[in-house]
């Protein structure tokens, strides 16, 4: 079969070349995957549930102004939490000096590869990729 995968009773088996490639590049560690990807989805889902409960709590006696104010405050606090945990710098704008403000409270999110490299004393932007080079497509 193509790609070096052979199926035995529905279970794929790798040939030697594919097995060596998989061992050479195993992908992200469990800890990296857990903090960088898994928790992001579940925390955002939990924040969505909190928002729905907040709106539902103001619907019994309808108070639109209080609902809008509390929902606005909750959304801003959730945005700050997301920035604190997963903010990643933009590759073209990062070399300038970082200044905290109301939209970007931290330079690197706590659960990002950049922060882990920064804590280890390495260059945090070494692994930062801005995407494909547009000149490659011309």
Whole-model pTM? 0.70
91: CB partners within 8 A, 6+ apart = 125, 128, 129, 130
pLDDT digits (tens), the chain, 138 positions: 455 555 556 656 777 887 788 788 887 788 888 988 899 999 999 999 999 999 998 888 888 898 999 999 999 999 999 999 999 887 666 556 788 899 889 988 999 888 888 888 888 877 666 666 666 776
CB 109 within 8 A of CB 83: yes
CA 76 to chain centre: 18
**Tokens of residue 47, six digits:** 């924040």
Burial of 35 (0-12, 13-18, 19+ CB in 10 A): buried
């Amino acid at each position: 079969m193509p790609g070096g995968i052979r199926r035995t009773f529905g279970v794929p088996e790798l040939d030697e070349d594919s097995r060596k490639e998989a061992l050479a590049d195993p992908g992200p560690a469990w800890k990296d995957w857990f903090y960088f990807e898994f928790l992001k989805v579940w925390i955002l889902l939990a924040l969505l549930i909190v928002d729905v409960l907040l709106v539902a709590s103001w619907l019994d006696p309808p108070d639109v102004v209080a609902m809008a104010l509390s929902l606005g405050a909750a959304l801003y606090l959730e945005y700050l939490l997301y920035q604190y945990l997963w903010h990643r710098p933009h590759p073209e704008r990062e070399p300038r000096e970082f200044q905290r403000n109301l939209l970007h409270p931290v330079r690197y999110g706590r659960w990002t590869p950049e922060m882990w490299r920064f804590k280890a004393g390495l260059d945090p932007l070494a692994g930062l990729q801005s995407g494909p080079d547009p000149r490659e497509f011309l």
